[in-house]
Amino acid sequence: MQTTPIHIQTPLLASMLLSRFTGGQVWLKLEALQPSGSFKARGVGHACQHYVRQGAKQLLSSSGGNAGLAVAYAGRQLKVPVTVVVPQTTSARAIELIRAEQAKVVIEGASWNDAHEHAQQLATDDGAYIHPFDDPLLWQGHASLIDEVAEAGLKPDAVVLSVGGGGLLCGVIEGLNRQGWCDVPIVAVETEGAASLQAAVSAGRPVTLDAINSIATSLGAKQVAAQALTSARDNRVLCYQVSDREALDACLAFADDHRLLVEPACGAALAAVYQRAEALNDKTNVLVIVCGGVGVTRAQLQAWSQQLG
């Protein structure tokens, strides 16, 4: 069995173009370059490896997005069969990508919650279910990206990242704490139609949004992990919101500036920089997690652009 990590070590680039929008240097951690197209390769890869080591003979996921693709990728590396249950709303393109990783796709239910429930029913004793964001094993794996930043000799004064269910946030906090960097502030960015962390922080308790209304579908968790809320109560996490248009514009600008296509879920974090977010004005070194995402094509960017006017 493969014992080396499933994810790859990603480049950490100083961006002179994005640095123009802040007081200091912007550093890009290019998770878009993971073989599965997003940072999910880290946590999901770590969790899959753990479960397979413990004897799991098959892996299950309920995500038609980057988490499902990461499980499919990890399963192929580990030579373990993967089933991904996806809701009917999943695009043909997403299904094609998962199948290309040789995973079995089961289409079931109207929403992620339905697919999630169905996946639990499929779970067998010899299989492991991989949650897309709420599992300490995932956070442990995501934390490796901060280890790499430290190994590169950089201590950031702020981290900018996107928040869906909060798995990336929990992982980055774990990584920072592991380095003893407990004072580094985090700008946690959501789109307005998917702001489940902000809703929970404002209410001071777990909140389930009625609906997700955003093109940033990878941020579309109606409720964040309890640990994300606990972490965000800590005053080092600053919740920040951008519109879909702003997230999309950031994707377009980033495609020009760094010649990489990323999802609006990732554009959200980039938008905080392009918008000169006040929290970044006085920072010498800003680390932006370029979380990536495969749910984007040139045609899809154009379609969103028309849709948003």
Ligand X SMILES: *Cc1c(COP(=O)(O)O)cnc(C)c1O
Binding to ligand X by residue 292, rule CB under 6 A?
Answer: yes
Binding to ligand X by residue 38, rule CB under 6 A?
Answer: yes
Give the burial string for 236-272 (b: 16+ CB within 10 Å, else e). Answer: ebbbbbbebbbbbbbbebbbebbeebbbbbbbbbbbb
According to CB under 6 A, which one of 7, 40, 46, 258 is a site residue for ligand X? 40
Q: How many residues bind ligand X (CB under 6 A)?
A: 23
Question: Residues 192-221 vs ligand X: string with x where CB under 6 A?
Answer: --------------------------xx-x
According to CB under 6 A, which one of 166, 175, 185, 267 is a site residue for ligand X? 166
* Residue closer to ligand X, measured from CB, 162 or 231: 162
Binding to ligand X by residue 261, rule CB under 6 A?
Answer: no
- Minimum Å distance from CB 125 to ligand X? 28
Residue 262 and residue 250: Cα distance in Å, rounded?
9
Collapsing DSSP to helix, strand or coil, 79 comes out as coil
Binding to ligand X by residue 133, rule CB under 6 A?
Answer: yes
Q: Which stretch binds ligand X (CB under 6 A): 63-71, 101-109, 151-159, 205-213?
A: 63-71
- Minimum Å distance from CB 16 to ligand X? 24
Structural contact between residues 71 and 84, judged by C-beta atoms closer than 8 angstroms: yes
How many whole angstroms from its chain centre is CA 307?
24
Structural contact between residues 60 and 88, judged by C-beta atoms closer than 8 angstroms: no
DSSP conformation class of 241: E
Burial class of residue 294, CB neighbours in 10 A (0-12, 13-18, 19+): buried
Binding to ligand X by residue 167, rule CB under 6 A?
Answer: yes
- Minimum Å distance from CB 280 to ligand X? 19
Q: How many CB atoms lie within 10 A of CB 5?
A: 15
- Minimum Å distance from CB 188 to ligand X? 9
Binding to ligand X by residue 145, rule CB under 6 A?
Answer: no
Binding to ligand X by residue 97, rule CB under 6 A?
Answer: no
At which residue do the structure tokens 């373990």 appear? 80
Binding to ligand X by residue 66, rule CB under 6 A?
Answer: yes
Structural contact between residues 290 and 31, judged by C-beta atoms closer than 8 angstroms: yes
* Residue closer to ligand X, measured from CB, 146 or 266: 266
**Could you tell me the maximum CA-CA distance found in the chain, to the nearest angstrom?**
54
Contact footprint for ligand X (CB under 6 A) = 38, 40, 65-67, 133, 162-169, 218-219, 221, 263, 265-266, 291-293
